[in-house]
Amino acid sequence: MKQVFALIGNQNSGKSTLFNYLTGGSQHVGNFLGVTVEKKTSALIARKDINLVDLPGIYSLSPYSSEEVVTLNMLLREKPNAIINVIDATNIERSLYLSLQLMELNLPMIIALNMMDELLCSGSFIDTLKIEEKLGIPVVPISVNKGEGVEELVLRTIDIAQKHSLPKRLDFCSGEVHCAIHSVAHLIEPKVRAKGLPLRFSATKLVEGDTALIEELSLTANEQHIISHVVDEMEKILGLDHEAALADMRYSYIEQLCKETVHKQGETIAQTRSVLIDRCLTHKYFAMPIFLLIMFMIFWLTFDVIGGTLRKILDDGIAAVIHYTDSFLTVVGVSAPIHSLIIDGALTGMGSVLSFVPIIIVLYFFLSLLEDTGYMSRTAFVMDKLLRKIGLSGSSFVPMLIGFGCSVPAILSTRTLPSKRDKKMTILLTPFISCSAKLPIYGMFIAAFFQEYQSLVMMVLYATGIFMAVFTGYLLKTFVYTGNPVPFVMELPAYRLPTAKGISLHVWDKARNYVQKVFTVIFAASIIIWLLQNFDLRFNMVKNPNESMLAAIGAIVAPVFAPLGFGDWRAATALVAGLTGKESVISTLAVLAGGTGEGESIALTLTQVFTPLTAFAFLIFTLLYIPCVAALNVMRYELESIRQVCLMMLYQLVVAWIMAFMVYRIGLLFGFQ
């Protein structure tokens, strides 16, 4: 059987970077808290018989958050062959708190002191041999970004796993805390041994008041009374509650240990640089304008300068491929229906969406830069005050940021939120955040109707989505999820230069997922749309699309959108197709456009169906109406309520209809067409 090594550490300690280095994995690594939501597993490059598990970043083993639950369950139930505890050497005092808890599990364990290069550059150093002697477990200094010390770390981890070398010391307490833990340990030892749980860890957890462990051990009322009496005595003598007493015990030992082993000359260069930068980027008044300016620059470069130019080049290339394929099929004499299916159906539908790959790449390149430098973590800090007005904390901004990419991982990332209330509210607000799947819709309509105002229109769309999320949050806070969010505590990581590998992995992952969707979901949707467009209800091929099944379906839905200015059956059909994936809106319109599949051909069809005013109303509706089926399914799973999902779908449809109606009617009042 394969051996299993568990990577554990604080958020942003470098676990995922080490995971990728050792496994060659493509897991994205960012200078951004909460990157790993669930555990990731892969074999080592050099040793295929060893699996490495990257667990979520945590600060303690108190099972309050989803990350802590995932980590604790893995350690207690699966019992890895060794624990690799990754520590940020520049913040060793904070990191060792988790280390002391991990040692209580009494499993083979090694500490990897990461970012030693940064520490040494500041003139500071750590006596790793003395720490190793004091803690009774191996300690290896490493710098993952430079590959220094990693080979030694692997060799020593394999050694302790094979020898099953347990920590030489588990007890770091003294005084009343020591008496309380050992009294509880003596009481519960038979039951803990029978369950196969670590004794020291279990005793400490019972002193902390872990109700889940009380149930698991089936403690009698008398045993619970004895434990309660022991804890009460400890609290009375120390003048602290049980949690504060245990925290004080651990930090007192860590403080003494660091006095003897850590020699700091001052802050690291990264820390000093971060303080200076944050004076501006997290300024009370300047932070928000700077954030908006940065996002506007990203949209401008993405849609006007870099991404827009590259898209036109790719669009021409795709049109050429379709043209030559069209000529080839004509020369070889392929039958007219099959010829139309290939050109007007599959290639046109896929090509219309595929041409937006450059925009996806450029946008995610810039977002990855912000994420990997550490700036995105600052946005959560800056947004905390604003989010509290709608009943959320800054921690909810992280899933919302992920929602700009895709609603599915954004909803999944809400598992890291500290309370069910915050989680449910964030899930219900996330669909209003404009995901990247809507970019082809925006791009095509903007190119057709708003070429002179591309960046401005994009900012308005994104701002509208954020505004509606805020408005909905206020309603939920007032009428559904009353109360206040949990306190928000967040570590701001030091600013760091992003690595080419990290940026490449992130961009490649997003581009690959996008292209995969084009050749699967969009391909299938394009074929289905072509079939519905070219056959009537009796499955006879039609010459006029207005006589097709698609037109019949669209005609049923179209009256709903007539008051919004786009009551054409083609617009209605595209919106229905968008439920499979928002990219399908453009692929559907592309198939209905016919012709060569070039952007100009699709734009011509758009101008036949829409005016600039109705096009903008259509964009607003597309922005706000219900998300794709995949996102709805994840919402149902995370909310554990079909009723809530259905109510949210109805709410979003109503909001989208009202907002599009207002845009259209107000536009008419001001004389727009």
Is residue 88 within a helix (H) or strand (E), and if so which, with residue range? strand 82-88
What does pTM read for this prediction? 0.68
Q: Is the pLDDT of residue 34 over 60?
A: no
- For tokens 């940026």, name the residue: 503
Residue that terminates a domain, selected from 141, 163, 185 = 163
Long-range contacts of 288-295 (CB under 8 A, 24+ apart): 288/382, 291/379, 291/382, 294/370, 294/375, 295/459, 295/462
Task: Retrieve residue 467's tokens.
Answer: 């505004």
Given a contact cutoff of 8 angstroms between Cβ atoms, the answer to whether 166 and 198 are in contact is no
pLDDT at residue 36 in the model: 53
126 and 227 belong to one structural domain: no
The Cα–Cα gap between 265 and 573 comes to 67
Given a contact cutoff of 8 angstroms between Cβ atoms, the answer to whether 320 and 599 are in contact is no
Average of per-residue pLDDT across 34-53: 77
216 and 159 belong to one structural domain: no
In this structure, is residue 269 part of a structural domain?
A: no
Q: How are strands ordered across the β-sheet holding 3-9?
A: 40-43, 50-54, 3-9, 82-88, 109-114, 139-141
Evaluated on CA atoms 66, 67, 69, 73, the torsion sign reads: positive
285, 288, 293, 294 alpha-carbon torsion, rounded to 10°: 120
Q: How many residues does the chain have?
A: 673
Q: Is the pLDDT of residue 546 over 70?
A: yes
Given a contact cutoff of 8 angstroms between Cβ atoms, the answer to whether 446 and 362 are in contact is no
In this structure, is residue 53 part of a structural domain?
A: yes
**pLDDT higher for 320 or 416?**
320
What DSSP state is assigned to residue 1? -
pLDDT at residue 542 in the model: 79
139 and 43 belong to one structural domain: yes
Given a contact cutoff of 8 angstroms between Cβ atoms, the answer to whether 427 and 652 are in contact is no
The pLDDT confidence band at residue 268, using thresholds 50, 70 and 90, is low
The Cα–Cα gap between 504 and 498 comes to 10
pLDDT at residue 73 in the model: 79
The Cα–Cα gap between 427 and 420 comes to 10
238 and 292 belong to one structural domain: no
Output the CA–CA distances (angstroms, integers) from residue 245 to 249, 306, 549, in the order listed.
6, 57, 72
Residues 228-243 have pLDDT tens digits of 898 888 888 888 888 8
Task: Output helix, strand, coil percentages for the chain, rounded to the nearest 5.
Answer: 70, 5, 25
The Cα–Cα gap between 157 and 147 comes to 16
419 and 454 belong to one structural domain: yes
543 and 614 belong to one structural domain: yes
Which residue in 118, 57, 46, 132 sits closest to 89, CA to CA?
118
Residues spanned by the domain of 638: 288-669
The Cα–Cα gap between 660 and 654 comes to 10
The Cα–Cα gap between 216 and 197 comes to 10
Task: Retrieve residue 425's tokens.
Answer: 């509210």
Strand-strand pairing, 82-88 and 40-43: unpaired
Given a contact cutoff of 8 angstroms between Cβ atoms, the answer to whether 381 and 605 are in contact is no
Which residue in 430, 392, 429, 386 sits closest to 288, CA to CA?
386
Residues 442-498 have pLDDT tens digits of 888 888 888 888 778 888 998 898 888 888 888 888 888 776 665 555 666 677 777
The b-or-e profile of 614-650 (16+ CB within 10 A means b, else e) is bbbbbbbbbbbbbbbebbbebbeebbeeeebbeebbe
Side chain identity, residue 535: F
Residues 72-84 have pLDDT tens digits of 878 888 889 999 9
In this structure, is residue 38 part of a structural domain?
A: yes
Average pLDDT, the chain: 82
pLDDT at residue 153 in the model: 93
Side chain identity, residue 349: G
Task: Retrieve residue 137's tokens.
Answer: 């477990």
Q: Is the pLDDT of residue 119 over 60?
A: yes
Q: Is the pLDDT of residue 606 over 80?
A: no
Task: Retrieve residue 578's tokens.
Answer: 């968008």
126: helix, strand or coil: strand
In this structure, is residue 170 part of a structural domain?
A: no
Residues 517-530 have pLDDT tens digits of 778 877 887 888 88
Which residue in 462, 461, 447 sits closest to 607, CA to CA?
447
CA-only gyration radius of the chain, Å: 29
Average of per-residue pLDDT across 381-410: 74
Residue that terminates a domain, selected from 163, 195, 228 = 163
Average of per-residue pLDDT across 333-344: 84
pLDDT at residue 595 in the model: 47
601 and 455 belong to one structural domain: yes
Task: Retrieve residue 610's tokens.
Answer: 């829409």
The Cα–Cα gap between 159 and 109 comes to 11
Evaluated on CA atoms 285, 435, 370, 298, the torsion sign reads: negative
Side chain identity, residue 64: Y
Q: Is the pLDDT of residue 593 over 70?
A: no
The b-or-e profile of 94-110 (16+ CB within 10 A means b, else e) is bbbbbbbbbbbbebbbb
- Please report, for the domain that includes residue 99, its CATH number: 3.40.50.300
Q: Is the pLDDT of residue 300 over 90?
A: no
The Cα–Cα gap between 341 and 506 comes to 35
In this structure, is residue 268 part of a structural domain?
A: no
Residue that terminates a domain, selected from 163, 188, 207 = 163
The Cα–Cα gap between 571 and 103 comes to 62
Q: Is the pLDDT of residue 156 over 90?
A: yes
The pLDDT confidence band at residue 110, using thresholds 50, 70 and 90, is very high
Give residue 147's Cα distance to chain centre.
27
Tally of domains in the chain: 3
Residues 408-439 have pLDDT tens digits of 777 777 766 767 788 888 888 888 888 878 88
Which spans in 140-220 are helix H? 150-163, 175-195, 199-208, 211-217
In this structure, is residue 49 part of a structural domain?
A: yes
pLDDT at residue 600 in the model: 56
Is residue 110 within a helix (H) or strand (E), and if so which, with residue range? strand 109-114
**pLDDT higher for 657 or 407?**
657
Which residue in 666, 518, 486 sits closest to 590, CA to CA?
518
248 and 293 belong to one structural domain: no
pLDDT at residue 178 in the model: 84
The Cα–Cα gap between 31 and 498 comes to 8
In this structure, is residue 89 part of a structural domain?
A: yes
87 and 197 belong to one structural domain: no
349 and 254 belong to one structural domain: no
82 and 138 belong to one structural domain: yes
**pLDDT higher for 394 or 219?**
219
The pLDDT confidence band at residue 31, using thresholds 50, 70 and 90, is very low
Is residue 6 within a helix (H) or strand (E), and if so which, with residue range? strand 3-9
Residues 347-384 have pLDDT tens digits of 877 877 787 788 878 888 887 888 778 787 777 777 77
Q: Is the pLDDT of residue 662 over 50?
A: yes
The Cα–Cα gap between 364 and 115 comes to 27
Strand-strand pairing, 40-43 and 50-54: antiparallel
The Cα–Cα gap between 127 and 314 comes to 56
Q: Residue 669: phi, psi to the nearest 5?
A: -60, -35
The Cα–Cα gap between 136 and 103 comes to 10
The pLDDT confidence band at residue 605, using thresholds 50, 70 and 90, is low
Q: Is the pLDDT of residue 596 over 50?
A: no
- Residue 39 CB contacts under 8 Å (≥ 6 apart), including other chains: 53, 54, 55, 56, 70, 71, 74
The Cα–Cα gap between 55 and 9 comes to 8
In this structure, is residue 74 part of a structural domain?
A: yes
Q: Is the pLDDT of residue 33 over 60?
A: no
659 and 608 belong to one structural domain: yes
